[in-house]
Amino acid sequence: MAKQNIYDNEVFFEGYRKLREKESNANDLFEIPALFSLLPDLKDKAILDLGCGFGEHCKGFIEKGASKVVGIDISEKMLEVAKAENSDPKITYLNMPMEDLETIDEKFDVVVSSLAIHYVEDFTGLIKNIYNLLNPGGVFVYSQENPINTTHSTGERWTRDENGEKLYVNLSNYGIEGERESVWFVDNVKKYHRMFSTIVNTIVDGGLTIEKMIEPLPTEELLEKYPDQRDLFHKPDFLLIRASRKV
């Protein structure tokens, strides 16, 4: 099975890092606050971070009282930054893809993933592994690109008026699931589109109970500062889900 490692591409890596350094990036404005709002109390909890990237979240979990954090990422470049900038005696970073989770021989109270799961082809297998890694009562919290976004592959994403103003988003092939290729800093970035129903049913069929879902939207206060974020009322960028293992 293909395991994409686009983040070790030098052009992609530098482009992504510059994007995350911008004050108004969507991760900081919407995705990260929503992700942390779904987390349980982390005091004395063991955390597994899937696709941990630069490790900021891992450090944040320790600051919120976690007893141990294991961060995994397929990208050596990402983990070099994580170890240099976000190291802690309670954090272990592992260079491995999410597809190999069954090789981890320990249990966790919380499994979390930020904007990485839409790169994984076998969502069913991933959920099965997450279930097996969670202690009873454990919580799984993750974010992904919203399915309204992952369905997009070719053509214009927006229909615009004569002045170039966005009128509405163009939606096509939503019901055709599977691989999508897009250009994001480099060509041929692969993501996997799944319908909302497939996402929900896969999580439930995997033994987890869905407790909450968030599609973050801007507040009026935020729109005063970043009026371009009004686009999100046409298509939210992100989908976040909290689920738990009851037994």
Q: What is the pLDDT of residues 44-68, one digit of tens each?
A: 999 999 999 999 999 999 999 999 9
Does 130 fall in a domain? yes
How many domains are contained in the chain?
1
What does the pLDDT average to over 3-27?
61
19 lies in some domain: yes
Q: Which residue has tokens 């063991």?
A: 46
Give the number of other Cβ atoms within 10 Å of residue 243's Cβ. 27
List pLDDT tens digits, range 169-210: 999 999 999 999 865 544 567 899 999 999 999 999 999 999
Strand partners, 112: 49, 141
Backbone angles phi, psi at 49, to 5 degrees: -110, 115
The structure tokens listed for 14 are: 């530098």
Domain membership of residue 12 (yes or no) is: yes
Q: Please tell me the distance from the alpha carbon of residue 172 to that of residue 154, in angstroms, as a whole number.
A: 9
Residue 49 covered by a domain: yes
Query: Under DSSP, is residue 43 helix (H, G, I), strand (E, B) or coil?
Result: coil
11 inside domain: yes
Predicted TM-score (pTM) of this structure: 0.90
Question: Token pair for residue 142?
Answer: 């993750």
Does 162 fall in a domain? Answer: yes
1 within a domain of the structure (yes/no): no
User: How many percent of the chain have pLDDT more than 90?
Assistant: 78
User: What pLDDT is recorded for position 185?
Assistant: 45
**CATH number of the domain to which 86 belongs:** 3.40.50.150
Instruction: Please give the residue range of the domain that contains residue 151.
Output: 6-244
- Amino acid identity of 52? C
**Residue pLDDT, tens place only, 80-106:** 999 999 999 999 999 999 999 999 999
Residue 185 placed within a domain: yes
> Which residues fall within 8 angstroms of residue 30, CB to CB, at 6 or more apart?
216, 218, 232, 237, 238
